[in-house]
Every structure is written in structure tokens, then in C-alpha cells.
Amino acid sequence: MNLIQIITTIILALFAACLLIQLLYYFLYFRKLAFFKDAGEISVKKAEMPPVSVIICARNESKNLKKYLEKVLTQDYPSFEVVVVNDCSWDDTGEYLDRMELQHSNLKIVTIKEQVKYRHGKKLALTLGIKAASHEILLLTDADCMPASELWLQSMVSSFAGQESHSVDFVLGYGAYQRKWGILSRMIRFDTFYGALQYFSFALSGTPYMGVGRNLAYRRELFFKNKGFGIYNHFLSGDDDLFVNMLATPTNTRIEIRPETFTLSEPKTTYAEWFRQKSRHISTGKFYKLKHRLMLGTLWASHYGIYLLGFLLLLVGFDWRIVVGLFSIRFITQSIVMGYAMKRLKEFDLVPFIILFDFFILLFYSILAVNNLFISKHKWK
């Protein structure tokens, strides 16, 4: 065996290992979401639903509040309030909220004034909103989010009103993006779907590790019992994923993926805006629990390995038909599982783009990682 043959054998073995790991993730984890059977229609009567506080933090969000706040305030739900935290806005957010407060008795406004000597992130705004909340069940969303239906509140909160409601502390929802024309919109939606495929599937497998603040419910008591955001309070990001990562367990977490539970946001319109948004979001991953970092790290390492090692095999002259054949096994498995999961999350139009965006995601996150390591300094707005 000469040196080239030894190198080729090693690369092939690593490639096969990455392929096996990828298949295991799709068969053991991601199929959980793809073939998940939800509870169907809401079985709890409206009269039995607990009162809810919806929390929205807004900094210079006048445009979005004018478009979406009314849809939150007019949900079909027996008893709820909407707490909007006006976080140092210098647009006409305050004036608009004052007008809306006169029209809606269930709107509560919390205002934070700008302090030159004290800069803060979203966590402070959210903490003040939670302190001002009147009810035990909290449902978080963002100012640029629109409920997919008037049953959003009922559906997201139904797990807190069922027979096992006493054991539920978290409900993870899907924060989707609206369909817009163009490749950037589709890439943003694919990235959002792929993230949801992971956190929903792992939650269904008994390993919840994150949620998204665009659509997340939990108990107020849980927040204060654990001293708010705890050891992560000084981090700029992580008001959603790190809080879930810290406290979610296999028994206290539920997911909701019925279409009426979705929230819809407008995707960023430029690559630079999306890059800044994602750069801030992924900066918290290094603070996840070790088991979650290993779980996600193995997934991404094997994902990178499939492409890198496959390319190296072709580079050293290995039979391209075997490489393509092995890669096709992974691609077919991926397409079937993702296709079913996309259907569940109403993203089925993305199926033709799976292989394209699967490769793009690796490049995009590689650039993000380099940016966060050497360049970026984040702020929440």
C-alpha cells in the first residue's frame, strides 16, 4: 500500500463515518418532527384557558407595531393582556402606543428612558415587561411578528390548560417568515426551518435545548424562581435560547406546530441585514450546556465532513461514482425527512432548494463564525 492509497483509505473511512452520523441524526432525531402527530384541534374549552400575558419588546418599532399589534390585541381568547415595553425608542412608538392604549383596555405599556451612562440589551426590557405582567402564563413574541391566526393564543397556551398542565413550563412555537419573492427570502426561510427542525426534533427526543423569542411561552413563576436570566443576564443575546437551555427538561417542555400557532415575520431584505441578525443570534451557542454543544457540534462537523471529505476523495482520484452514490444516500434520506417536516411547517415550496441551501448554509455559518470570532461586536437594536 503506497502513501496515496493509505491517505485515500483514511479519507474514505472518515467520509463513511460522517455519512453514518448524518443518517443517524435524520433517522433517530429529525424524523421525530417529520412524522410527529400533534393533538389535532384544541381539546380544552376556552373557559378553562388560563389568563395570559403577551410580552413584546419594541425599540423604534413604530412601523411594525402599526402593522401587527392590532392582530395580537384582538386574539380570540377569554382573558389576556398585551404588555409592550417601549425600550428607549426615538421614533413615534410612544405616541402610537398611547393612542392604542385608549382603544384597547388589554394593552399595558412599560416605558424605558434612555440613559447615556447605562446601556442595556433586550434582557432588561423583557425583565421589566415580565415584572409588569399580571398573569402567570407568559407568551413572548416580537414587534415585527404577526400571529398566523386569531387562534394563536389559544393554541400556544392549550398545553398549560390540559390534564398534565401542572408539569408544563415551556411551550416552543414556530417563528416563520413570510413568503417573499427572491433567493434571499428563501434562504432565510430555509435557515429558519433547519433551526426549527433541530430544536423541535431534539425536544421531541427528550433533549430540549432552545426556543425562539418570536414564539415562546413559559411560566412567570419559573422566571422569578431562577432569578430571571440568571448567570446569562449580562450577555447581550440569549433572552430566548439560553433561558430555555438553562431550564428546559424532557418532562416540562412541549412543542406546538399546528399552523394556527405560527408567528410570521418579514424576512430581511439585504444580505448585510440578515448577516448582522444571524451573527447576533449564533453568538450565544457557545454558552449552551456541554451535552448540547456536543450534540450540535457533532451534527455540524459531520455535515461539513460530507462535503470536505467527498471533495478530497475526488481530488485524490477515488472513483467518483462511489462518492456520488454514498452522497446520494444521504441526500435522498435528507430530502424525504426534510420534505415531510417542511410539509408540517408549511414550507414545502423549499423542497427543490434543499441541496443548494444545504451547501450554502455551511458557507454562510463558516463566515459567521469567523466574523464572531475576530470582528463583530453586537447590539440588540
Q: Residues, the chain, total?
A: 381
Residue 228 CA to its chain's centroid (Å): 20
Separation between Cα atoms, residue 203 and residue 210, nearest integer Å:
9
For the chain, what is the radius of gyration of the CA atoms? 22
CATH level 2 (architecture), domain 46-269: Alpha-Beta Complex (3.90)
Per-domain boundaries in the chain: 3-35+290-374, 46-269
Which residues, 6+ apart, have CB-to-CB distance to 195 below 8 Å?
Answer: 212
pLDDT tens digits in sequence order for the chain, 381 residues long = 688 888 899 999 999 999 999 999 999 999 999 999 876 666 667 777 899 999 999 999 999 999 999 999 999 999 999 999 999 889 999 999 999 999 999 999 999 987 655 667 788 899 999 999 999 999 999 999 999 999 999 999 988 987 667 789 999 999 999 999 999 999 999 999 999 999 999 999 999 999 999 999 999 999 999 888 877 777 767 778 999 999 999 999 999 999 999 999 999 889 888 888 888 777 788 889 999 999 999 999 999 999 999 999 999 999 999 999 999 999 999 999 999 999 999 999 999 999 999 999 998 888 887 877 765 555 555
Task: Give the number of other CB atoms < 10 A from CB of residue 286.
Answer: 8
Task: Give the number of other CB atoms < 10 A from CB of residue 210.
Answer: 24
Separation between Cα atoms, residue 24 and residue 200, nearest integer Å:
17
Separation between Cα atoms, residue 136 and residue 224, nearest integer Å:
11
Eight-state DSSP code of residue 91 = S
Separation between Cα atoms, residue 61 and residue 114, nearest integer Å:
16
Separation between Cα atoms, residue 246 and residue 380, nearest integer Å:
21
Separation between Cα atoms, residue 289 and residue 209, nearest integer Å:
8
Task: Give the number of other CB atoms < 10 A from CB of residue 352.
Answer: 10
The reported pTM is: 0.92
Place of cell 426534510: 338
